[in-house]
Amino acid sequence: MLAGATPVLVHNCGTDEATVHLANYADGRQHALITIRDAEGEISTHQFGDVSRSDNGVEAFNPGDFPAITLRLNISLPLAGRARMFVENALFKTGEGRWPPYSLPDQGCVTYCAQVLRAGGLDGVPLDNDEAQSWLMARYG
């Protein structure tokens, strides 16, 4: 950006954040999804799959498609651009069939969100599903 003929560095303060969506569906299912907001815009993704599927991976979602009972945890990210890069890499790996197999303790929907948050510079996020969910709720719930 220029101010007259002088280049000026612009930082969009307040845009570097994540929202972890903890959705509770009427049929009893629960699911964690994540939205990243940074200078490039917004990207919403989640890990899909379970132990019975061979096509586990990461895909985009529409944040308007949540059930009425959804907790939204807003989290400031020091490195939101890196979180975006992690998400884009996860989408690429899924497209190539290289996303790691589903594993509830350490490669499920909550741990995917924890991985994105860690990539975004948030320290101390556990990578175990139950521990990560407890950690998120204790700090942001």
Q: Where do the structural domains in the chain lie, given as residue ranges? A: 13-140
CB contact set of 34 (below 8 Å; sequence gap of 6+): 18, 19, 20, 21, 44, 45, 46, 87, 112, 113, 116, 117
How do the residues of the chain divide into helix, strand and coil, expressed in percent and rounded to 5? 30, 30, 45
Confirm if 48 and 59 have CB atoms less than 8 A apart. yes
Token pair belonging to 85: 């890069």
Q: Residue 94 belongs to what H/E stretch?
A: helix 80-95
pTM metric for this prediction: 0.88
Dihedral angle of Cα 49, 121, 70, 30, to the nearest 10 degrees: 30
pLDDT at res. 5: 53
Please classify residue 9 by burial: count the beta carbons closer than 10 Å to its beta carbon, then call 0-12 exposed, 13-18 middle and 19+ buried: exposed
Per-residue model confidence as pLDDT tens digits over 84-136 = 999 999 999 999 999 999 998 899 999 999 999 999 999 999 999 999 999 99
Name the band, by pLDDT with cuts 50, 70 and 90, for residue 14: low
